[in-house]
Chains A and B, each alone.
Chain A
């Protein structure tokens, strides 16, 4: 990986400057923007190697690109959903080296050399993963938008062994929001697979 040009401290201080300047008159703000353009690295690209759903990728990515935008916008793996882009809803949950991870809070540059599994890679060929089958049977969704994230998280929940009671499942699935409120079916799907 290329040597970092700017430290975290530098980034934090410029961000703090931005926040302070938000309430300062426009002329100053414009000046700040000019400075910002000089000091914040604009577009920088780097080469990364990673594996997604067992396929090897050699990619050149914008250093600002999140894993979520990488799979959705560049690799056409749109099963992973963007629900908030802030790590608040869980719709973008994928597995990185087997752990459930929020891809919107993961810069693509940081998954160098890692194994990523998205919903597209969960099933083997045309066979559905038992969790996907359970979600269909228990009607664990309505609109389906949070569903891939719910399923990736549900697989994680079972692997982690947090399925001893309805309450425990609910607690460990509460990072995945469902505005349709299909929580009945989500819990039942997990119970079915955990048996």
Chain B
């Protein structure tokens, strides 16, 4: 269970000159599907994610999660933020435990799970460190563990690796691939990195800016399980060339 459906969704920000962030967006994401939203900054891809996360309200249209309406944030739609957004006064362990603890789940249930997740993201030794003592990549690992501990039906990831250096980004992509391939959660992944979108996603939705629209949908039929080694595969390069051509075309159409 983790289907997402956008129907003719419009989001405008009022003001002297109202900004149309999203213009009649249609998008269907199936159970267990990994969809990447690819586009330049300011194209509304984060707005799209914020709507399904329940952080913002759409102006018109219909939006559903698992067939139900979305009116507030909730643990079944876990968000991984660009800068991790960990609470700086809590240790790594306390940050991961925040969700289960506010949901008043029994400690005996979530504590073993946190230990398991810490191992999964390679941070056992840092359970009692503060976020400020971690590197950017480690912080984002905590952000992912914090989302996974809630057993979400969908993972909403807003450029989670955008602020990381190339090497760290690759190891995070591999980590995400491994985790997702074993869990099979629905993922909506916002990025402006073409390689990242191809490597991770089943399907790539290309967005254009002003007004924000999904202009192309491309299915990535690279076999799974994938790994970052495939970044140099001929098949990968072919995909990339095709996507770049589509993006150029889309840009021309919307210029």
The reply to whether chain A is a binding partner of chain B is no
Q: Which residues of A come within 8 Å of B, CB atoms?
A: none
Q: Which residues of B come within 8 Å of A, CB atoms?
A: none
